[in-house]
Amino acid sequence: MKGLIIKDILNLKNYMKQLILVLIFFIAYGIFLKNGTFVGTMITLMLSMQVITTMSYDEYAKWDKYALTMNINRKDIVLSKYVFFIMSIIIGMVVGVISSTTINQILQSDINMNEIIATSIVVPCIFAILFSIVIPVVFKNGVEKGRIVMMIVLFIPAVLVAAIVKISENNNIPMPNGPTLEMIFNFGLIGVILLTIISIFMSYKISLSIYNKKEF
């Protein structure tokens, strides 16, 4: 399985220059907005998407058909994608914290370290949950259909959040006070982490079931 992960990393080597340019753009845009948290969020999103990119390369090269002729079992192929995915999420968290902290320090933002760390945990967890839905779709229907689902999955939460905010404003629903908000956030953080673990595990099981039945 280690070789499969190295293969995915090497496949991204040619794509790395484009990825770095996009990240530089987001950093510049985050500085322009005076919002380091935005940079951390976009870096996490970009790195989360790389598992789909590796699957795209595999599909184009018909890698799976070739791999199954060698001494590589289907479980290792699926598991390697999820290990790569988790690695990307963790790297996104680390880079997100570093970039957010650095930019906020440079801009002397009033966002404190606790908020940065909390955001750097919640955002990757949300992306991990969303991509846990997308990955089985890619295994079953291919990258093109998977990308359509990915756009829908990423679009719906943004619409829901905007709708909730709008409804709250229109109905003058008051925000919870400080202690209540902190309690809700703490329980919510634990819930999101647990949901992330369950989502990735269930996604892996579904993907493995799909891949075991798939013919190449």
For residue 180, what pLDDT band results from cuts at 50, 70 and 90?
Answer: low
- Mean per-residue pLDDT, 77-84: 94
Looking at the chain, list the stretches that DSSP marks H as alpha helix, in order from N- to C-terminal side: 2-11, 16-33, 36-48, 50-61, 63-67, 74-106, 113-141, 143-170, 178-213
Q: Are 146 and 138 in contact (CB under 8 A)?
A: yes
* Identity at 187, one-letter amino acid code: F
Q: Are 154 and 127 in contact (CB under 8 A)?
A: no
Percentage of residues in the chain having pLDDT higher than 90 = 22
Higher pLDDT, 149 or 31: 149
- For residue 154, give both structure tokens: 């990423």
DSSP track, 95-122: HHHHHHHHHHHHTT-S--HHHHHHHHHH
For residue 87, what pLDDT band results from cuts at 50, 70 and 90?
Answer: very high
Rounded to two decimals, the pTM is 0.83
| pLDDT attached to residue 101 | 79
Tens digits of per-residue pLDDT, 64-74?
A: 888 888 888 89
**Residue of 124, 118, 113 whose CA lies nearest to 44:** 124
d(CA 49, CA 29) in angstroms, rounded, equals: 20
**Residue of 178, 180, 128 whose CA lies nearest to 154:** 128
Question: Among the listed ranges 14-28, 131-145, 151-165, which one has the minimum average pLDDT value?
Answer: 151-165
- Could you give the C-alpha distances from 64 to 21, 69, 78, in angstroms and in order? 30, 9, 10
| pLDDT attached to residue 11 | 81
